[in-house]
Amino acid sequence: MNKTTQDSTFDSTNLFVFILKKWKIIFAITAIGAIISIITSLIITPKFQSSVILYPATSESLAKSVIRDDMGSKGALQFGEEEEVEQILQILNSDELKNKIIKKYNLYEHYEIAEDAQYPKTQLKKEYNSNISVERTKFMSVRIEVLDKDPQMAAKIANAISMYADTLMNDIKLKRAKIALELLKERYREEQNTIETLEDSLKEIRKMGINNYESQAEVFNDAYAQALAENRVRGARKIEEKLEILSEYGGAYESMTQKLQLSISRVKFLKKKVEEMEIEANSNVPHVFIVDRAIPAEKKAYPVRWLIVVVSTFGAFVFSILILLILDTYRKYLKK
């Protein structure tokens, strides 16, 4: 019990005495650590940071917000919400956008990566991800940050990323809108052809004297009954012939008339949809709102030399104490 207490006392109270006894060694290791950290911080290539802050636009269609009288419409020029933020983040992190930036600024050469080196794409991807970051802010905006040894290049890359994000988003939506427009136009033409066919068929039936099945049937039945009551056999026979025609083609007339009305209403609806989709397919509205554009930084953001020196020196100090404690404990154990 006594021995345990004494050991515990040594661990908590005699550490300062131990450091004083070994101060020369500790000082030497700490000084070496400080010198190495100073040299390392001077060797590290300084980098400048530029950033862009943007908000995605709402994904609501332009036609819906402009043409329709929809009080619930947010409007195409409103800021987007969580869904739109996630969409723009996917675009910003896409390989297509990264490849555009790599090609535009020849990042293989800029980052000094030989294209014939082993795993050049992996090296470039690692360098790209370490220098360029995209993140969502708590205000539902997106921040693009670029680090580069050239402040002008950092600003150019950050602005180019935001520009390409808008272009890619627009290209995706225009492509989908054009496909939808062609499908709507095809459906519209089919419905118009149906109307023409129905109208031609109805025209042939009308030549037989059928113009309004229900009213004609009522009139002819009344006239036929009256002719029979008055014993007008010849007149009744003529009315009977008309009733036979009406009976044979009346059902087809009614069916075609209903189909025609339905097709006309469809054509009106499709025409409206085609007009809306033409606006979507031919409009080039911004899908991001740039709040802050990137400008060349006046001072470096990396490395923070004093912080590197302080952290490394303190680390060397702690490391030296730990090593000496381990060696001292090991020496005592050997003596036992």
Domain locations in the chain as residue ranges: 185-282
User: pTM for the whole thing?
Assistant: 0.63
Find where tokens 């409009």 sit.
283
Distance (Å, whole) CA 241 – CA 244: 5
Non-local (6+) Cβ contacts of 144 within 8 A are 51, 52, 53, 54, 92, 132, 133, 134, 158, 161, 162, 294
Query: What mean pLDDT comes out for the span 125-153?
Result: 90
Q: How many CA atoms lie within 13 A of 213 on its CB side?
A: 17
Q: pLDDT-derived band of residue 224, with 50, 70 and 90 as boundaries?
A: low
Distance (Å, whole) CA 155 – CA 188: 49
* Residue 8 confidence (pLDDT): 43
Distance (Å, whole) CA 279 – CA 283: 6
CB 146 within 8 A of CB 50: yes
Between 314 and 241, the more confident residue is: 314
Non-local (6+) Cβ contacts of 137 within 8 A are 53, 143
Separation in Å, CA 296 to CA 52, 69, 285, 293? 11, 45, 28, 10
* Counts of helices then strands in the chain (DSSP H, E): 12, 4
Residue 26's Cα: distance from chain center in Å? 55
pLDDT in tens, 101-113: 999 999 998 888 8
The phi and psi torsions of 183 (rounded to 5 degrees) equal -65, -40
Closest residue by Cα to residue 130 from 37, 45, 41, 36? 45
Find where tokens 């006046």 sit.
298
Query: What mean pLDDT comes out for the span 287-299?
Result: 84
What is the share, in percent, of the chain residues with pLDDT greater than 70? 71
Instruction: Look at residue 297 and tell me whether its pLDDT is greater than 70.
Output: yes
Query: What mean pLDDT comes out for the span 213-235?
Result: 59
Residue 76 has which token pair? 């195409």
Non-local (6+) Cβ contacts of 81 within 8 A are 58, 140
- The widest CA-to-CA distance across the chain, in whole angstroms, is 145
